[in-house]
Amino acid sequence: MLLYADKRFTSPYAMSVFVVLTEKQLPFEIRTLDLDAGANNDPAYARTSLTQRVPTLIDGDFALSESSAIAEYLEDAFPDPPVFPAARQMRARARQVQAWLRSDFMPIRQERPTPTIFYQQPVSTPLSAAAQLSSRKLCAAVCELLGHGGENLFGDWSIADVDLALMLQRLVINGDQVPLQLARYARAQWERASVQRWVRRERPSS
């Protein structure tokens, strides 16, 4: 299989698919695109990726983009080991968390972009009022989800844990106020071997 990712390896969505492929121990290659130069809009890539975005996964003659769709495809095609909860309702909740993280929290994503995480270049500007509101909403929901006291959202680890940890890391690494329980959860998820393989990738300096 072939995974298209961003040149700087800062896309949270490419990271999510990378982790799924790694957890499932599937052989794959990575090809990068310079998004700053608009390489994803190249006609050749447009013929490959329906949405002209990364990540895009190529499996034989089948191409699929959008990270959550790719994760579900890989789960269906290669169910062992699983990356989603086995129980129907918990699996639905994991997908809800993933969809929410991708569709909400724009102020956090704008003010705490992923390069601050992967290039270890925190920003000192305080969160705006809108980002503070998003942060409070995020932390309240995660406190509820982790109210059971376990290490993961749904008992066994799932890909939703990684997606959620990355959103929290936007705040933790930049020194923003996060409940200690959530900071510990995010850091523990960050130490997972599959995650560290992405975190430690060599990145261009610019």
Three-state SS for 57-98 is EEECCEEEECHHHHHHHHHHHCCCCCCCCCCHHHHHHHHHHH
Residue 15 shares a structural domain with residue 77: yes
Which tokens is 21 given? 């492929």
Regarding beta strands 2-6 and 29-33, do their DSSP bridges make them parallel or antiparallel, or are they unpaired? parallel
The better pLDDT of the pair 120, 192 is held by: 192
- Nearest-angstrom CA–CA distance, 10 and 198: 9
Q: Which of 81, 104, 132 is the last residue of a domain?
A: 81
Q: What's the distance, CA 30 to chain centroid?
A: 17
Residue 107 shares a structural domain with residue 136: yes
Nearest to 160 by CA among 100, 117, 107, 118: 100
* Domain span at 130: 88-192
Residue 104 shares a structural domain with residue 170: yes
Residue 139 shares a structural domain with residue 154: yes
Look at residue 77 in the predicted model and tell me its pLDDT. Answer: 98
Residue 129 shares a structural domain with residue 72: no
In a domain, 12, yes or no: yes
Residue 187 shares a structural domain with residue 117: yes
Residue 184 shares a structural domain with residue 97: yes
**What does DSSP assign to residue 135?**
H
Residue 99 shares a structural domain with residue 74: no
In a domain, 199, yes or no: no
CB 152 within 8 A of CB 78: no
Residue 46 shares a structural domain with residue 73: yes
Residue 108 shares a structural domain with residue 184: yes
CATH at residue 28: 3.40.30.10
Q: Which of 60, 81, 102 is the last residue of a domain?
A: 81
Specify the number of domains making up the chain: 2
Contacts 24+ apart (CB under 8 A), 90-94: 90/154, 90/155, 93/153, 93/154, 94/153, 94/154, 94/158, 94/159, 94/160
Residue 106 shares a structural domain with residue 182: yes
pTM of the model: 0.96
pLDDT digits (tens, 9 = 90+) for 3-49: 999 999 999 999 999 999 999 999 999 999 999 999 999 999 999 99
Would you say residue 206 has pLDDT above 90?
no
pLDDT digits (tens, 9 = 90+) for 92-135: 999 999 999 999 999 999 999 999 999 988 998 999 999 999 99
pLDDT digits (tens, 9 = 90+) for 129-186: 999 999 999 999 999 999 999 999 999 999 999 999 999 999 999 999 999 999 999 9
In a domain, 197, yes or no: no
